[in-house]
Amino acid sequence: MIMYKSEKLVQHIKQLIENGSYSANTKLPSLRAQAQVTGYSLMTILNAYQTLIAEGRVYSKEKSGFFISEYNYNTYQKTNTVETSQPQKIKINSKVFSYLKQTQASDYIYFSSAFPDEQCLYNTKIMKILAHYAQQKPIGTTNKNMPPGNLKLRQQIANRYILQGIPTQADDIIITSGALDALNLALQTLTQTGDYILLQDTIFYGAWQAAERLGLQVITLPTHPQYGFNLQAFEDLLQAYPIKVCSFMLNSHNPIGFTVNDKIKEKIASLLEKYQVYLIEDDTYQELYYFGQKPLPMCYFEHQNRVLHCSSFSKVLGANIRIGWVRTETFSEKIQHLQLMSTLAANTLIQETLANFIATPYYDKHLQKLRKQLYQRKNLLYHLLLRYLPSSCHIHYYSSGYFLWIELPNHLNSTALFQILLSQNIGITPSHLFSIHEVPHNYIRINSSFHMDSQHKQAIISLAHAIKYLIYQRMPALLHYFKTDSNAFRRL
């Protein structure tokens, strides 16, 4: 299924708003000018502008044209936030463990997976380089790859920051065993048991696990419904609590998907400096953007070395690569000390291989191809979901990454939905895995990276049936109808 042209334009304009290219009150190109640039019809462009008006992103002025709406930091309700985010110790690891165990069967539809379809990640060039180094005796000296890691690899990673206008030396990079190791090391470097840290209220479960492991007191920051990041709530919490470290995802957020725009990032940086707080930024999906420039990390905006930027190759080359890094100008020594007491060093053979692969143009070619494929697959799944899910479901779509975040109608419990689908060997990720709050959990995360064959399509139809079943379960008369007529599901 193809994405409609007007939707494409809507996504493109949203991206320009999110990355700061379009600020408040910027005039959009006239219908005619936009038609000339895009080659779309005037009606298509009008449809796109009207969608943006309906979503509050754009307003129209009589006889003047269309303009970007005023940026609104204050959608969040002040009173709620501080009440709901009392510091607390975390206990989430057992929940995550049992969820992962349940979703590991081999004949499974992996909409629950946190990683892209392996077929999209496979690259013959890297395999050739790997085979070349595997045949060498000995496989490069181990010392060369001990913390802070392979110099050539660190140089290659540093160069990619420089391309974004962030001065970085190889010595600012420490190679780790994946992004999770990077996040854990960064958090351990900056905290002691009992310290207060701030996490987004909905976030990748690895962040909660890291806090649990270190016995930290966690405060949560509410998500801004429109911009992802809630600046007003952020400043309130910094004033209310002695927060030492924040750990955030600001680009292609897992699970929700948003990318915070540059204006908000600038303000976050100034608040970090004002309140003397450190930030661990999880930027594991940084390469998976589909329009414009690669989103900037916080170290672009912050100049007191308060940001420890963590990422990895897991989402672009595969989780089994297990190579990540931390970028920090200040804490390299301390991180290396901690590595010597935990993972020691990342795999030598893989470090050598990556260092050489990334230095070739094949890495960027691989990324380009991957972005194109993931973008197409995401759009395809998005449109299938629009077609099959009940209209009371809201699908949060962002043009980066490969997750779709689906809001189920208010009363539906996403864990019950997960259990129903599990019995049909279909994996989805329910929202209680991303939050520590005992609030109604009516969201699910779906991985959109898989090839949409008939089996996957059938799984989407089953998902829709299961949601409808849960909706109608609330209505006893209809439930009776389901019980007496086994085909009732399919006809919904």
Ligand X SMILES: Cc1ncc(COP(=O)(O)O)c(C=O)c1O
Residue 189 lies near ligand X (rule: CB under 6 A): no
Q: Number of residues in contact with ligand X, rule: CB under 6 A? A: 14
User: Pick from 281, 282, 287, 352: which binds ligand X (CB under 6 A)?
Assistant: 282
HSE-up of residue 19 (Cα within 13 Å, Cβ side): 20
Cα separation, 492 vs 211, whole angstroms: 44
Task: Quickly list DSSP for 244-261.
Answer: EEEEE--SS-TTT-----
By beta-carbon proximity to ligand X, the closer residue of 48 and 187 is 187
Q: How far is the CB of 158 from ligand X (least distance, A)?
A: 19
Residue 206 lies near ligand X (rule: CB under 6 A): yes
By beta-carbon proximity to ligand X, the closer residue of 148 and 178 is 178
Residue 254 lies near ligand X (rule: CB under 6 A): yes
Site string for ligand X, 110-129 (x = CB under 6 A): ----x---------------
For tokens 């008006």, what's the residue? 53
Q: How far is the CB of 78 from ligand X (least distance, A)?
A: 29
Residue 324 lies near ligand X (rule: CB under 6 A): yes
Under a CB-based contact definition with an 8 Å cutoff, are residues 125 and 362 in contact? yes
Residue 312 lies near ligand X (rule: CB under 6 A): yes
Residue 251 lies near ligand X (rule: CB under 6 A): no
Q: Which stretch, 140-148, 172-180, 337-345, 364-372, contacts ligand X (CB under 6 A)? A: 172-180
Query: In degrees, to the nearest 5, what angle opens at C-alpha 12 toward C-alphas 53 and 56?
Result: 20
Residue 295 lies near ligand X (rule: CB under 6 A): no
Under a CB-based contact definition with an 8 Å cutoff, are residues 428 and 418 in contact? yes
Cα separation, 293 vs 392, whole angstroms: 34
For tokens 């973008």, what's the residue? 375
Question: Residues near 403 by Cβ (< 8 Å), separated by ≥ 6?
Answer: 254, 255, 256, 257, 445, 446, 447, 448
Residue 264 lies near ligand X (rule: CB under 6 A): no
User: Pick from 52, 179, 350, 444: which binds ligand X (CB under 6 A)?
Assistant: 179
By beta-carbon proximity to ligand X, the closer residue of 319 and 326 is 319
Cα separation, 317 vs 323, whole angstroms: 10
The pair of structure tokens assigned to 213 is 């492991």
When CB distances to ligand X are compared, the closest residue is: 178
Residue 284 lies near ligand X (rule: CB under 6 A): yes
- Positions touching ligand X (CB under 6 A) are 114, 178-180, 204, 206, 249, 254, 282, 284, 312, 314, 319, 324
